[in-house]
Amino acid sequence: MDIFTKCHEFTMAKDAMAQGFYPYFIPLDENEGTEVVYQGNRLIMCGSNNYLGLTTHPRLKEAARQAIDRYGTSCTGSRFLNGTLSLHHQLEHELAEWVGKEAALVFSTGMQVNLGTISAIVGRGDYVILDKDDHASIVDGARLGYGKLERYVHNDMQHLERVLQSLPADAGKLIVVDGLFSMEGDLAPLPELVPLAKKYGARLMVDDAHAMGVFGGGRGTAAHFGMTDGVDLIMSTFSKSFASLGGFVAGDEAVIHYIKHFARSLIFSASIPASNAVAALTALQIMREEPERIERVNVIGEKMRKAYSQLGFNIGLSVSPIVPIIIGDNDLTFMMWKTLFEKGVFVNPIISPAVAPGHQLLRTSYMATHTDEQLDKVIDVFEKVGRQLGLI
């Protein structure tokens, strides 16, 4: 059999395109933060992870421009060899301080943080334990390691304890969990999870890609619950609240030093250029100086959750600016996405395997820079489309 046969037989995307229902890889002409332009039409962006609205902030843009003038466009090498700048060290120092850990390590993307960190830590005879709703990068990092993978039902601490009880007491164990789950906007129950990890001798890593800049005064879920000391490793990305590209992991200095020398996704990837490092640094400075942005995005999240619930939409257990509209059917999900898009609202349709079958949803997410006028328009459009399609 020709190994490319599967490629020629994959027609789902082409069929969707032909029917006008293909919602992915949409080429935007302009991106102004809360609004985008597609083929001359302006839409309110309610599908971005730009939680603090910093991607268009004048200070970030100017800092990135100055970094390009000084350092050029690329480091053209890995962190391990010639690709480390003093800027990377400064960023790592400030990030470690921000999240309350001894040290931090900057990778080229958030995906690479999880791939490299988990596979470096989990070796033969070890176990990595994941929440079933964990991000794909966590799952792939666990698969790359030589340890054994176990999973527990989403946020079910009784099931997690049964899994931990079943493992050899003397085996190395790493629990990895999203702090803020990216599809449905709910939080990992760290007040229950941390004691369980300690009880069974497991280490805990929290992926705060979506919580950083949003919860805990911007410091993430561990800070939100007052449990920073109980979380061994904290990771996040720069492509969300930090308005840049890259990612980091923070923890004890000895552990970070080990990851630095064994994470293949770090050693064999080019480092982020100076412009991205400076953008992340500047975003961190703004988080410190303008806490009202963090407060604003949470106020907006509460406003939208309340509005959708009052209209009769199912928003699940969201407690954040990520607000899912759970529909439970592929066709209806795509139909609603298309109708919203045509009426000027950009959201993300999410189907299996990103969510469980029967749990298909529209992922909406909000920025500190959304205006009340924009949000009220979005609510009005959702109500009209929801009634048109018989969803409310």
Q: Report the 3 state secondary structure along the chain.
A: CCCCHHHHHCCHHHHHHHHCCCCCCCCCCEECCCEEEECCEEEEECCCCCCCCCCCCHHHHHHHHHHHHHHCCCCCCECCCCCCCHHHHHHHHHHHHHHCCCEEEEECCHHHHHHHHHHHHCCCCCEEEEECCCCHHHHHHHHHCCCEEEEECCCCHHHHHHHHHCCCCCCCEEEEEECECCCCCCECCHHHHHHHHHHCCCEEEEECCCCECCCHHHECHHHHCCCHHHCCEEEEECCCCCCCCCEEEEECHHHHHHHHHHCHHHHCCECCCHHHHHHHHHHHHHHHHCHHHHHHHHHHHHHHHHHHHHHCCCCCCCCCCEEEEECCCHHHHHHHHHHHHHCCEECEEECCCCCCCCCCEEEEECCCCCCHHHHHHHHHHHHHHHHHCCCC
Determine, yes or no, domain membership for 63: no
Q: Say yes or no: 268 and 366 in one domain.
A: no
> Both tokens of residue 277?
């490092």
| 51 & 102 share domain | no
Output phi, psi for 21, to 5 deg. -120, 25
Give residue 264's pLDDT: 97
% of residues, the chain, pLDDT over 70: 100
- Torsion angles phi and psi, residue 29, rounded to 5: -85, -35
Residue 68 is assigned to a structural domain of this protein: no
Instruction: Give the end of a domain, one of 234, 268, 289.
Output: 289
Residues 331 and 374 in one domain: yes
Q: With b meaning 16 or more CB within 10 Å and e meaning fewer, what string describes 129-142?
A: bbbebbbebbbebb
Q: What is the CA radius of gyration of the chain?
A: 21
- Report yes or no on 359 lying in a domain: yes
Question: Where residue 147 sits, what CATH number does that domain have?
Answer: 3.40.640.10
Mean pLDDT of 123-128: 97
Structure tokens at 52: 């603090």
Q: Which residue has the higher pLDDT, 13 or 41?
A: 41
> Would 330 be classed as within a structural domain?
yes
pLDDT exceeds 90 at position 89:
yes
The reported pTM is: 0.96
Assess whether 237 and 334 both reside in one domain.
Answer: no
Q: What percent of the chain has pLDDT over 90?
A: 93
Closest C-alpha among 217, 221, 235, 164 to residue 195 = 164
Query: Is the same domain home to 298 and 284?
Result: no
Whether 64 is in a domain gets the answer no
For 206, what's the count of Cα atoms within 13 Å in the CB-facing half-sphere? 31
Q: Which of 21-25, 150-154, 177-181, 306-310 has the lowest mean pLDDT?
A: 21-25
Give the per-residue pLDDT at 13: 84
Question: Are both 171 and 311 inside the same structural domain?
Answer: no
In a domain, 373, yes or no: yes
Q: Are 287 and 213 in contact (CB under 8 A)?
A: yes
Q: Are residues 263 and 295 in the same domain?
A: no
My answer on whether 258 and 378 are in the same domain is no
Question: Could you tell me the pLDDT band of residue 356, with boundaries at 50, 70 and 90?
Answer: confident
Q: Which domain holds residue 348?
A: 5-56+291-388
Residue 34 CA to its chain's centroid (Å)? 18
How many Cα atoms are found within 13 Å in the side-chain-facing hemisphere of 232? 21
Q: Single out the residue in 248, 269, 289 at which a domain terminates.
A: 289
Q: How confident is the model at residue 142 (pLDDT cuts 50, 70, 90)?
A: very high
Q: What is the CATH number of the domain that holds 20?
A: 3.90.1150.10
Q: Are residues 301 and 235 in the same domain?
A: no
Q: Are residues 104 and 151 in the same domain?
A: yes
What one-letter code names the amino acid at 6? K
Strand order in the sheet with 203-207: 103-107, 247-251, 233-237, 203-207, 173-178, 127-131, 148-152
Domain boundary among 256, 289, 322: 289
CA distance 207 to 48: 18
Residue 305 contacts residue 370 (beta carbons within 8 Å): no
382 with 280, same domain: the answer is no
Please count the CA atoms within 13 angstroms of the CA of 369 that sit on its side-chain side.
17
- Average pLDDT on 294-301 reads 98
Q: 97-125, pLDDT tens digit by residue?
A: 999 999 999 999 999 999 999 999 999 99
Same domain, 35 and 94: no
The C-alpha atoms of residue 194 and residue 229 are separated, in whole angstroms, by 10
Selection from 350, 293, 349 nearest residue 51 by Cα: 293
Query: Model confidence over 150-205: pLDDT tens digits?
Result: 999 999 999 999 999 999 999 999 999 999 999 999 999 999 999 999 999 999 99
Query: Contact, 14 vs 20, CB < 8 A?
Result: no
- Per the domain annotation, does 103 fall within a domain? yes
17, part of any domain:
yes
What total of structural domains would you count in the chain?
Answer: 2
